[in-house]
């Protein structure tokens, strides 16, 4: 979709097949193929990428070159992205810590918006309060990592308990209330809707990937819930390779055998806690393109503001599809239904006893046409929780001590490059600048599963290495742009963008302008790639 101007006439268009589109979102069944797309000039490629991905930059320390660049990308004009990111600083003991994160919401943006805004505040308050209670406590990596994990658990626990507190604070107290009382208390839109919004959070979920860096940039902690990915890209001091690529996270979903075995071990004697590689035998339609189909089956009724989006990310919390019904769906619909996330924030029907869903969510406005699909998995819900909010914590030392200099060695680049990220360095006829010495930083990349999907064909390692070399060549030319390393945010790179996240997105969707044009301008009514959020931090 071309932003801000009409698509060129058919005579100027070219044709794309499903295999030309990166990722697994669309396939041969999404025909008719080929479909038209418009070939963009290099200048227009960058213009459209910026318009669609909304690149953003934050400089943490201009002198030391610490910065974070971010994007949130979905090229389909009919699709509202459900990914979110956060880039901020939090104050602990009077010092600034860097906190960055990526979140992939389910169904709508209710919970993901709540998490992206409030989680950094909760992490800051939790760590600050813990350290005030023990001011002499040494901030070891293990201690900080444990506090980091506890803060996220406490945040998730509050989502359900904010609702239970309306009824005495427990499931047992909730059972003492009639359905009429419950409906009256939670459906308070006429009084401002505070209780309704609390209850509504329980019907949605989101993955979370959050990184924390201490003030001296000595330690990095990454907390992961779900299937987003964190990658540390470090210069290779030994000269064997240009870069060391360290994948810090594991995907927590039904494709992870270790996680499935963990759930089975936590629920002994419950043969159906995992059924067909799905938690409680339920399916999670996280990328369903057909809300009308599921509505017609009577599985759920959506609030009006969620219906405003023509394509919705639907989650198992709102639509649990029985196996028999799943088999009867079309190929397109079946492939839109994915295995459930095993870690996440929200997802309350998998974390509370069935009474919570039956007494609270069933009574929440606007209600359900048919609750039988919910009962398909609630009858297996015997010893919750089945989805955990305890994050997997990874820790890495960025350097040995605060007094140590940044570890990357110096490197001199020759500007003449054939790398696709460096092809358009100068205007035609312009004299190429001489190469000069630059420092190779360590990059931390946080990305949603949409980016991982874009990399599936070529492989993420190759893409990260190529992108990192391209960034170094860009910086060797002195082109920083958009608040980049040493930049003011005013200068604009003549090759397109100095934003690290946007250049990484560009590298993942295509090595040339023709490939990128297919992703940007494909003539298709539904989303052809997944929502993609990326944050890149120099550490």
- pLDDT one-digit tens code per residue, 465-500: 999 999 988 887 765 444 344 333 334 444 568 899
Rounded CA Rg of the chain: 24
Question: What does the pLDDT read at residue 427?
Answer: 34
As a whole number, mean pLDDT of residues 285-311 equals 33
pLDDT at 5 over 50: no
Structure-block tokens of residue 137: 């406590």
The end-to-end CA distance of the chain, in Å, is 35
Q: Tell me the pLDDT tens digit for each residue of 36-90.
A: 999 999 999 999 999 999 999 999 998 888 999 999 999 999 999 999 999 999 9
**pLDDT at residue 304 is higher than 70:** no
- In this predicted structure, the answer to whether residue 251 has a pLDDT above a threshold of 70 is yes
Is it true that the peptide bond before 385 is cis, omega within 30 degrees of 0? yes
What is the per-residue pLDDT for 535?
99
**Which pLDDT band, with edges at 50, 70 and 90, does 406 fall under?**
low
> Is residue 80 in some structural domain?
no
Q: What is the pLDDT of residue 373?
A: 84
Let me know if residue 338 belongs to a domain: no
d(CA 148, CA 128): 11
Q: What total number of domains does the chain contain?
A: 1
Helix (H, G, I), strand (E, B) or coil at 288: coil
Percent of the chain residues past pLDDT 90, beyond the cut: 58
Query: Phi, psi at residue 19, to the nearest 5°?
Result: -70, -10
Cross-sheet strand order for the sheet of 243-247: 56-61, 66-73, 532-538, 443-447, 229-235, 243-247
pTM above 0.75, yes or no: yes
- Please tell me the least confidently modeled range out of 139-143, 263-267, 386-390, 436-440: 436-440
Q: Is the pLDDT of residue 369 over 90?
A: no
Residue 377 lies in a domain: no
Q: Between 337 and 88, whose confidence is greater?
A: 88
Closest CA to 528 of 20, 159, 110: 20
pLDDT computed for residue 283 by the predictor: 42
Mean pLDDT across the chain: 80
Q: What per-residue confidence (pLDDT) applies to 52?
A: 97
Residue 335 has pLDDT above 60, yes or no: no
Averaged pLDDT for residues 519-528: 95
Which has the higher per-residue pLDDT, 340 or 476?
Answer: 476
- Expressed as residue numbers, the domain containing 239 is 10-74+217-252+395-538
Asked whether residue 463 carries a pLDDT value surpassing 70, the answer given is: yes
Confidence label for 275 from pLDDT (cuts 50, 70 and 90): confident
Give the confidence band of 4 by pLDDT, cuts at 50, 70, 90. very low
Q: Is the pLDDT of residue 262 over 50?
A: yes
How buried is residue 223: exposed, middle or buried, by Cβ count under 10 Å (0-12/13-18/19+)? buried
Residue 534 and residue 81 in contact, taking contact as beta carbons nearer than 8 Å: no
Alpha-carbon distance 116 to 120, whole Å? 7
Answer whether residue 200 is part of any domain. Answer: no
- Residue 497: the pLDDT is 82
Q: Is residue 57 part of a domain?
A: yes
What average pLDDT does the segment 270-274 reach? 92
Q: Is 155 domain-assigned?
A: no
pLDDT score, position 43: 93
User: Residue 113: is its pLDDT beyond 90?
Assistant: yes
Domain-embedded: residue 467: yes
Most confident of 178-187, 243-252, 267-276: 178-187
- Band (pLDDT 50/70/90 cuts) for residue 2 is low
Q: Is the dihedral of CA 78, 51, 509, 284 positive or negative?
A: negative
Per the domain annotation, does 108 fall within a domain?
no
Question: In this predicted structure, what is the pLDDT of residue 27?
Answer: 92
CB 325 within 8 A of CB 23: no
Q: Which burial class, exposed, middle or buried, applies to 337 when counting CB atoms under 10 A from its CB (0-12, 13-18, 19+)?
A: buried
Higher pLDDT pick, 305 / 273: 273
- Given pLDDT bands bounded at 50, 70 and 90, which one contains residue 438? low
State the average pLDDT over residues 225-251: 87
CA distance 179 to 166: 14
Q: In 3D, which of 186, 92, 178, 68 has the Cα closest to residue 445?
A: 68
Residues in the chain: 539
- Residue 328, pLDDT > 50, answer no
Place of tokens 């909760």: 122
The pLDDT value given to residue 359: 97
Q: In Å, how far are 59, 279, 373, 427 from 376, measured between CA atoms?
A: 50, 12, 5, 63
């Amino acid at each position: 979709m071309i932003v801000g101007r009409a698509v060129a006439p058919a005579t100027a268009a070219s044709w794309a097949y499903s295999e030309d589109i990166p990722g697994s979102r669309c396939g041969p069944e999404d025909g008719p193929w080929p479909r038209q797309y418009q070939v963009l000039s290099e200048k227009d490629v960058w213009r459209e990428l910026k318009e669609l991905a909304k690149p953003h930059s934050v400089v943490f320390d201009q002198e030391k070159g610490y910065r974070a660049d971010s994007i949130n990308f979905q090229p389909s004009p009919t699709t509202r992205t459900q990914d979110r990111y956060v880039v901020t600083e939090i104050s602990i003991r009077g010092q600034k810590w860097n906190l960055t994160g990526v979140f992939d919401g389910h169904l709508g943006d209710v919970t993901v918006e709540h998490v992206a805004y409030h989680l950094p505040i909760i992490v800051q308050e939790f760590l600050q309060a813990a350290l005030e209670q023990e001011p002499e406590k040494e901030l070891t990596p293990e201690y900080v990592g444990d506090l980091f994990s506890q803060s996220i658990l406490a945040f998730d626990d509050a989502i359900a308990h904010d609702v239970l507190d309306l009824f005495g604070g427990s499931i047992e107290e909730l059972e003492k209330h009639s359905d009429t009382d419950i409906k009256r208390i939670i459906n308070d839109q006429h009084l401002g809707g505070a209780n309704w919004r609390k209850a509504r959070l329980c019907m949605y979920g989101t993955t979370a990937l959050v990184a924390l860096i201490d003030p001296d940039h000595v330690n990095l902690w990454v907390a992961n819930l779900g299937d987003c990915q964190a990658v540390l890209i470090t210069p290779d001091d030994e000269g064997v390779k240009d870069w060391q690529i360290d994948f810090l996270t594991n995907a927590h979903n039904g494709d992870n055998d270790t996680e499935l075995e963990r759930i089975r071990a936590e629920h002994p004697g419950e043969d159906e806690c995992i059924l067909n590689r799905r938690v409680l035998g339920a399916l999670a339609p996280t990328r369903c393109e057909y809300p009308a189909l599921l509505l017609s089956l009577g599985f759920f009724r959506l609030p009006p503001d969620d219906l405003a989006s023509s394509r919705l990310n639907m989650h198992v919390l709102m639509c649990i599809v029985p196996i028999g019904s799943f088999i009867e769906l079309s190929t397109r619909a079946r492939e839109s239904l994915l295995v459930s996330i095993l870690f996440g924030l929200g997802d309350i029907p998998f974390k509370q006893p069935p009474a919570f869903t039956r007494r609270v969510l069933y009574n929440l406005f606007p209600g359900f046409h048919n609750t039988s699909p919910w009962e398909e998995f609630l009858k297996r819900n015997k010893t919750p929780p089945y989805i955990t909010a305890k994050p997997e914590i990874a820790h890495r030392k960025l350097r040995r001590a605060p007094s140590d200099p940044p570890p990357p060695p110096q490197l001199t680049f020759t500007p003449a490059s054939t790398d696709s990220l460096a092809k358009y360095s100068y205007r035609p006829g312009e004299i190429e600048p001489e190469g000069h010495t630059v420092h190779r930083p360590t990059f931390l990349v946080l990305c949603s599963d949409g980016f991982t999907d874009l990399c599936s064909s070529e492989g993420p390692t190759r893409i990260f290495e190529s992108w990192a070399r391209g960034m170094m060549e860009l910086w060797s030319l002195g082109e920083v742009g958009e608040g980049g390393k040493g930049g003011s945010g005013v200068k604009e790179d003549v090759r397109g963008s100095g934003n690290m996240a946007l250049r990484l997105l560009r590298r993942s969707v295509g090595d040339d302008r023709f490939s990128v044009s297919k992703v940007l301008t494909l003539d298709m009514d539904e989303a052809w790639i997944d929502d993609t959020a990326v944050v890149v931090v120099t550490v």
